A = this chain, B = another copy of it.
């Protein structure tokens, strides 16, 4: 039996999305299970196995037609197949998920972190197709990154390379980050960071803005983007601030690996040019002359769920 499908899995804090992918990168069928219902990972693994078997039952050849499973997960370690101390998941410590899932379903399993999986997806099917050197920045609740050099994802010595959301952008009096340090890029350029910038402006200035109509503690980056799109000056300034912070950081990343392009991915990119324009400007303002105007900043061409599933599935093709 020819094993002509792979399964890609995107593990998020609330749900895990599984998809059957063919060799052309079509997500043929999908399934969703909850990630957040079991403290005990072995119960999750049972749900996972049931979901895989349910998907397999819907394709010609069943389980025998599936080559393997690729998983993208927060704090996923490519070398060890583990999820390690993921703050947004209920399982604590080091979880040997690839091994547990492999035993449950009897198929080979590869695992990496979600941003690396997205980078592979982008390289295989998206905006980075044909590129050998690029950096993927995921702008969601946090800021993740997947770095590709010479066509290979950078994993580093321990499998955890590419934590660009935790480079320090503000050295003095920086915001407290979820990681316990201060001044991280993630504390500014994430969806949470945008909402925080909004709250800071509302609290420390009298500037008029439609954001004042929203209960302060529930403001989201989506609402800031909508207000900015309608011309709200404060909201536009929030995206300028966010974009310039990110753009300046990107200039440092370019000095590291001299990529062809930076691909931006995730919820914040829905703000479009409101975000992209200050990002590109600040990046070029901060680049060495030799790179000014030569590094492309692109938005992902894949929708979020597909990119994560496709990227994870690409790991399984390598099995």
Q: Is the CB of B256 within 8 A of A253?
A: yes
Binary contact track A160-182/B, C-beta < 8 Å → 1, others 0: 11111011111100000001110
Contact B85 A290 (CB under 8 A): yes
Interface presence of A107 (CB below 8 A) = no
For the complex, is A28 an interface residue (Cβ under 8 Å from B)? no
Q: Of the 9-residue stretches A16-24, A145-153, A187-195, which lies at the interface with chain B?
A: A145-153
**Interface: A306 (CB within 8 A):** no
Chain A residue total in the interface (Cβ 8 A):
44
List B contacts of A253 (CB < 8 A): 256
Cα separation A158 to B292 with both chains bound (whole Å) = 13
Nearest-CB distance from A184 to chain B (Å)? 9
Mark each residue of chain A from 275 to 319: 1 if its CB lies under 8 Å from any CB of chain B, else 0. Answer: 000000000001011110010000000000000000000000000
Q: How far is the CB of A108 from chain B (nearest CB, A)?
A: 23
Closest chain B residue, CB of each to CB of A159: B258
Contact across chains for B286 and A181 when beta carbons are under 8 A apart: yes
Beyond A133-B157, A159-B258, A168-B252, list 17 extra A-B contacts (CB 8 Å): A84-B290, A85-B290, A149-B154, A150-B152, A156-B258, A156-B259, A157-B258, A162-B255, A162-B258, A163-B258, A163-B288, A164-B255, A167-B255, A168-B248, A168-B251, A181-B286, A252-B252
B residues near A258, Cβ cutoff 8 Å: 155-163
A64 within 8 A of B: no
A252 / chain B contacts, CB cutoff of 8 Å:
167-168, 252
Residues of A near any B CB (own CB < 8 A)? 84-85, 132-133, 147, 149-150, 152, 154-164, 166-171, 179-181, 248, 251-253, 255-260, 286, 288-291, 294
Query: Does the CB pair B150–A257 fall under 8 Å?
Result: no
- Label chain A's interface by main secondary structure: loop
Q: A171-B248, A251-B168 are in contact. Are A156 and B257 (CB under 8 A)?
A: yes
Does B157 lie within 8 Å of A255, measured CB to CB? no
A150, A155, A156, A171 — most chain B CB neighbours (10 Å):
A156
Q: Are A286 and B168 closer than 8 Å at their CB atoms?
A: yes
9 interchain residue pairs of minimum CB distance: A156-B258, A161-B258, A167-B252, A163-B255, A157-B260, A133-B157, A161-B257, A167-B255, A156-B257
Contact between A133 and B150, CB atoms less than 8 A apart = no
CB distance from A208 to the nearest CB of B (A): 28
